[in-house]
């Protein structure tokens, strides 16, 4: 029997309708600016993640997903703005809170001179809480050799091992940077299944960045689109798919329709011959979406359409 209770607040990133007061966010970024040298990658970003949310971070290559995730964990100093984790500034997190964070970086071949047994034993000595049974179970289930050097494991095995290491101390906040990039489809499904199984029972907040939209659709309840150094949209995926429509037509008609239906434009692109393509949302899930008119074509959107339209 399902033991997860879904509260309205944990499924709404940005609430479009009235909800009971949200619990304290586990991650808050306000006005975050992060730069590489002279370029600014993250520019005035505001973000809040509530406990128990599973958020997929989408963005083009080079949009700054890794930079953002590193800044959230305090591994990179922002040039402006603040990040707070569990309501403490990330630069001065105390030990108890750091024990509640798990991170899976993009490269999985870390500690390659050690064997998995050595690496996990090493990390175990630092964390107060360590679920040895879970570690053993996952290692056996994913068939990771315990006494072979990590350098000699395949890419997929290394990635799985990194995930075991992140899950072993039962974190409340799990940050994954392209965690399934080098797994084959079977491995990806397997991992996501396991991830969801392991974390949802505990109400862990999960943020992961990925390119693979189908994985995101299955696993993430909320998606956030990173574009131009900010979070363009964050919303529950279902709601986004249901309330967003793509309108294509002559610019004037499209805009008239948008205004008449009181929709909110979240992405626009000018097409040739004076036509406009617009991604717009209706006010809430209960409002019916507009039907197509003679001039304007109204189509439902897929996640890929949203990705193409919302990230530049």
Partner 1 sequence: MTAHAGWQRVLLAPLQQRRNQGSRWFWPALVVVALLMLVGAALLPRVPLAWAAVTLLATLALGLWIALVSSLIVQNEPHAARLVPGHARALRRVLLVAGLVFLAVAGIVGAAFGHALPTLGATLLALLVVAWIVRMPALGMLGWIVPMLVSRASKSPAFEAMAGAASDAMLARPGWVAAGATAALLAAVAWSLPQLLQGGDVRHQRSYRARTRLRVFVRHGRVDQTRWAATGRLGCVLRELSTWPYQRVLARISAQRSGDVLGRSLVGLGPVFHWSGQLGSALVFGAIGLLLLSVVWGVGLLGAHLGGASGAVWPLSLGLMTFVVNLSVAARTALYHSRREQALLMLLPGMPRAAALNRPLAVRLLIQFVVTWALGLLACAAFVPVQARQFGWLVTLACVGLPWGALLWRDWSRLPPPSPMTAAAPVVGVMLLAACAVGLQLVFDWPVWTFALGFVWLTLALLAWRWRGVAAAPSAFPVGRRS
Partner 2 sequence: MNPVDLFSIATGSSEPIYRQLVEQVRRFVAGGQLRAGEELPSVRELAQALAVNPMTVSKAFGLLEADGLLERRRGLAMVVAPQYRRAQPTAERVELLRPTLERAALEARQLELPAAQALALFKTLLRDAEDDAP
Q: Which residue in the set 127, 146, 290, 293 belongs to the binding site for partner 1 (CB under 8 A)?
A: 127
* Residue 6 sits in the site that holds partner 2 (CB under 8 A): yes
Q: Which is nearer to partner 1, 12 or 119 (CB)?
A: 119
Near partner 1 by CB under 8 A, which window of 55-63, 106-114, 191-199, 241-249? 106-114
Query: For residues 190 and 187, what is the distance between their CA atoms, to the nearest angstrom?
Result: 5
Tokens of 184: 């084959």
Strands (E), 76-197: 80-85, 88-89, 101-104, 173-177
Smallest gap from residue 11 Cβ to partner 2 (A): 7
Near partner 2 by CB under 8 A, which window of 32-40, 136-144, 157-165, 235-243? 235-243
Near partner 2 by CB under 8 A, which window of 100-108, 154-162, 174-182, 210-218? 210-218
Query: For residues 266 and 312, what is the distance between their CA atoms, to the nearest angstrom?
Result: 12
* Residue 287 sits in the site that holds partner 1 (CB under 8 A): no
Do 237 and 220 meet the contact criterion of CB atoms below 8 Å apart?
yes
Kindly write down the DSSP assignment for every residue of 167-193, as one continuous string: HHT--SEEEEESTTTTS-HHHHHHHHH
* Residue 112 sits in the site that holds partner 1 (CB under 8 A): yes
Tokens of 197: 């199984």
Please enumerate in sequence order all residues whose Cβ is within 8 A of that of 19, keeping only pairs 6 or more positions apart, or say none: 8, 9, 12
Residue 193 binding target from partner 2, partner 1, none, CB below 5 to 8 Å by type: partner 2
Tokens of 133: 């049974």
Near partner 1 by CB under 8 A, which window of 74-82, 184-192, 255-263, 300-308? 74-82
* Residue 110 sits in the site that holds partner 1 (CB under 8 A): yes
Do 80 and 32 meet the contact criterion of CB atoms below 8 Å apart?
yes
Our measurement of the distance from residue 245's CA atom to the centroid of its chain's CA atoms, rounded to an integer in Å, reads: 23
Give the number of residues in contact with partner 1, rule: CB under 8 A: 35
Which stretches of the chain bind partner 1, using CB under 8 A? 36-37, 70, 73-77, 91-92, 95-96, 98-99, 101, 103, 105, 107, 110-114, 118, 121-128, 149, 151-152
């Amino acid at each position: 029997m399902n033991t997860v209770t879904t509260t309205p607040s944990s499924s709404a990133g940005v609430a479009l309708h009235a909800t009971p007061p949200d619990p304290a966010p586990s991650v808050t970024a306000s006005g975050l600016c992060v730069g590489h040298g002279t370029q600014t990658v993250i520019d005035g970003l505001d973000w809040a993640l509530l406990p128990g949310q599973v958020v997929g971070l989408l963005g083009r290559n080079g949009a700054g997903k890794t930079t953002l995730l590193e800044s959230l964990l305090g591994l990179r100093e922002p040039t402006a703005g603040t990040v707070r984790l569990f309501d403490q500034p990330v630069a001065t997190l105390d030990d108890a809170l750091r024990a509640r964070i798990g991170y899976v970086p993009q490269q999985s071949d870390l500690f390659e001179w050690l064997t998995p047994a050595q690496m996990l034993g090493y990390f175990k000595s630092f964390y107060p809480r360590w679920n040895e049974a879970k570690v053993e179970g996952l290692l056996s289930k994913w068939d990771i050799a315990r006494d072979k050097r990590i350098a000699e494991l395949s890419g997929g095995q290394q990635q799985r091992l990194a995930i075991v290491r992140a899950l072993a101390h039962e974190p409340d906040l799990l940050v994954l940077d392209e965690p399934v990039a080098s797994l084959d489809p079977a491995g990806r499904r397997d991992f996501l299944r396991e991830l969801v199984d392991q974390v949802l029972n505990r109400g862990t907040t999960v943020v992961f960045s990925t390119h693979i939209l189908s994985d995101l659709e299955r696993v993430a309840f909320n998606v956030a689109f990173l574009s131009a150094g900010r979070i363009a949209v964050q919303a529950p995926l279902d709601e986004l798919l249901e309330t967003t429509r793509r309108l294509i037509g002559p610019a004037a008609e499209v805009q008239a329709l948008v205004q008449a239906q009181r929709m909110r434009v979240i992405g626009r692109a000018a097409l040739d011959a004076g036509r406009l393509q617009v991604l717009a949302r209706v006010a809430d899930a209960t409002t019916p979406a507009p039907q197509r008119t003679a001039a304007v074509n109204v189509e439902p959107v897929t996640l890929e359409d949203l990705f193409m339209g919302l990230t530049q």
